[in-house]
């Protein structure tokens, strides 16, 4: 959870480093009908944050109205998700920018259709994976299992980001330190709730959120 917050923060951070990095949310469920078609709030945020002019369909090619699992939403809409199509669209955005951040949907093994899951989409794109960890009870088990699954898929896990969604997790810092010691990939940042002012080095966001990044590490990985 919090993938859009992380994606937008990374896009804005990249802009400050002189990089035009675009965002893409290939699949979105629970979209709202509008005069211009189905629209998703998260995808609209990525569109607004884009450093280059894009259409909505370029950011979110598979939009579904039903707020259910994507494989069920695609079945109801009779519009299956085509991994080759997503990969082609992704490559096009890559050619037009300095890099691309592709936001997943749900978890690593969420079904997208008959015999395909989010993990298959990631493999079809071949991009390094950033794991977003929702900091709450149970996150250690979830993060360790997901991290292991990413590595077993043959993809690079570029790092992980802690998302302190509520600002009230008990022993937050201790849990983050545990993940730092247990995961073999670096912590790239913390997306957190804090009371008071946002530090000058942080990235402002909604309510009291700010963003911190391990600059050298993430810059190296964004530039490949």
Residue with tokens 């298959």: 120
Provide CB contacts within 8 A for 2, sequence distance 6+.
132, 134, 163, 165, 191
Class of the CATH domain delimited by 129-224: alpha beta
Tell me how far apart the alpha carbons of residues 44 and 49 are, in angstroms, rounded to a whole number: 9
Sign of the dihedral defined by the CA atoms of residues 142, 147, 186, 104, in that order: negative
Q: What is the mean pLDDT of the chain?
A: 86
In this model, does residue 201 exceed pLDDT 50? no
pLDDT in tens, 154-174: 999 999 999 887 777 788 889
Q: According to CATH, where is 3.40.50.300 located in the chain?
A: 1-127, 129-224
Q: Output the pLDDT for position 216.
A: 58
Q: Which helix (H) or strand (E) holds 15?
A: helix 3-16
Domain 1-127 has CATH 3.20.20.150: no
Q: Output the pLDDT for position 204.
A: 38
Catalytic site includes residue 48: no
- Binning pLDDT at 50, 70 and 90, where does residue 212 land? low
From 3, 25, 48, 180, active-site residue: 25
For the entire predicted model, the pTM comes to 0.84
């Amino acid at each position: 959870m919090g993938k859009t917050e992380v994606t937008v923060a990374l896009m804005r951070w990249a802009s400050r480093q002189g990089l035009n990095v675009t965002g893409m949310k290939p699949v979105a469920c629970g979209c709202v009908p509008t005069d211009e078609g189905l629209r998703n709030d998260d995808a609209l945020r990525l569109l607004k944050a884009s450093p280059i002019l894009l259409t909505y369909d370029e950011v979110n090619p598979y939009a579904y109205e039903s707020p259910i699992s994507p494989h069920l939403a695609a079945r109801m809409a009779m519009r299956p998700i085509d991994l080759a199509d997503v990969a082609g669209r992704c490559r096009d955005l890559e050619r037009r920018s300095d890099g691309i951040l592709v936001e997943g949907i749900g978890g690593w093994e969420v079904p997208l259709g008959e015999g395909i899951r989010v993990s298959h989409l990631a493999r079809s794109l071949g991009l390094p994976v950033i794991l977003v960890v929702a900091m709450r009870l149970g996150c250690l088990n979830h993060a360790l299992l997901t991290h292991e699954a990413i590595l077993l898929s043959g993809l690079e896990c570029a790092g992980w980001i802690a998302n302190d969604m509520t600002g009230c997790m008990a022993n937050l810092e201790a849990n983050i330190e545990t993940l730092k010691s247990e995961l073999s990939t670096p912590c790239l940042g913390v997306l957190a709730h804090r009371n008071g002012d946002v530090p000058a080095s942080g990235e402002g966001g909604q309510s009291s959120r700010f963003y911190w990044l391990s600059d050298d590490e993430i810059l190296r990985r964004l530039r490949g």
